[in-house]
Amino acid sequence: MQLRILPYRFATTALWLLVVCLACLSTGVWAAASNDPLPSWSDGKTKQAIVSFVEKTTREGSPDFVPENQRIATFDNDGTLWAEQPVYFQLIYALDQVKKMAPQHPEWKTEEPFASALKGDMNKLVASGKEGLMKIIGATHANMTADEFSENVSQWLKTARHPKTNRPYNEMVYQPMLELLNYLRANGFKTFIVSGGGTNFLRVFAEQTYGIPPDQVVGSSLKAEYQVRDGKPEIIKLADINLINDKAGKPVGIHQHIGQRPIFAAGNSDGDFQMLEWTTAGEGPRFGLLLHHTDDKREWAYDRKSHVGRLDQGLDQAANRGWLVIDMQEDWDQVFPGTIN
């Protein structure tokens, strides 16, 4: 058998191609993979439904094309963009502030709901209802300048750690949702947080964590007033409620802050029901999305009877209303950033 010697130029080219192919295999860099806008999402109907909606609403000439100035997407925060167990993270912040402020308030040792907060009795604290929780929020969020509050939250985020994962709270975010936010923005969508959490609390970290600037955060809020203190103009946070941006309050908050109906809305609980209902009732292409927490190994599994993020009505009505329900266990290959699940 006679070996055939390849021309030098051909052999060099072949060798170069072999090196490139081996490099692609070792790094997993192929065109199809690099073009995947949602790499942490499992391939399937959920991922495809999102991609199909984005493609049809952004492709000029499509019957479902939506002009860029109408591409508004709203996202709940707690349980949708970041975790919400064992309780809402803003409540954990407030309880930490109660403990920090307790030496200046000896009466809190016997006064509810502060006594339960200091003892760590979450069941009794939750049983105090909205009135009790608002006392906690009023005491820890009000009677200070907006800048002082933001600085307090910023310092808390640097030191506080989640009791289960020991991660900073602003790292308890969902990698697939970060990808979805980026994917929407890359296609001309303007993304907003519409949360029951506090507007000023969220604005401290929303831009760095989600790429969502302060003016695109819609949340619950206390009243505020303008004062001049020691010759310096300040915005002072008051203890009275301005807006509870939850349930029926969410469409109102969107109307007042954004001024137009979204075409895409994402949530995870019945607190988001009215936001999805109002969004998908509009004319033209609409998208409603609910995240169902089904993964008790990588995160938590909860829905109908949960003390936070209760998903009952939405779970029953999603199919009839055409809302997509994400099964966290099945639809996400990865949950948190920087982890291999």
List, in order, residues 6 or more apart from 279 with CB less than 8 Å away: 74, 261, 262, 263, 264, 265, 286, 287, 288
- What pTM was computed for the model? 0.88
Using alpha carbons, list the distances in angstroms from residue 269 to 81, 256, 263, 275, 309. Answer: 12, 22, 19, 11, 5
Minimum mean pLDDT among 23-32, 45-54, 225-234: which range?
23-32
Token output for 113:
């709901």
Average of pLDDT values for 130-156? 92
Cα 187 to Cα 217: distance, rounded to the nearest angstrom: 20
Minimum mean pLDDT among 138-142, 263-267, 327-331: which range?
138-142
Write down the domain spans for the chain. 43-85+172-223+242-331
Average of pLDDT values for 133-147? 92
Question: What are the DSSP calls for 228-282, one per residue?
Answer: EETTEEEEEEEEEEEE--STTHHHHHHHHHT-S--SEEEESSGGGHHHHHHHHTS
Cα 164 to Cα 89: distance, rounded to the nearest angstrom: 13
Percent of the chain beyond pLDDT 70?
89
Q: For residue 5, what pLDDT is reported?
A: 41
Q: How many helices (H) and strands (E) does the chain have?
A: 15, 9
pLDDT higher than threshold 50 for residue 11: no
Average of pLDDT values for 230-248? 94
Minimum mean pLDDT among 22-26, 210-214, 264-268, 327-331: which range?
22-26
pLDDT higher than threshold 60 for residue 6: no
Using alpha carbons, list the distances in angstroms from residue 15 to 5, 20, 222, 335. Answer: 14, 9, 67, 40
Percent of the chain beyond pLDDT 90?
83
CATH number for 43-85+172-223+242-331: choose from 3.40.50.1440, 3.40.50.2020, 3.40.50.1000, 3.65.10.10: 3.40.50.1000
pLDDT higher than threshold 60 for residue 2: no
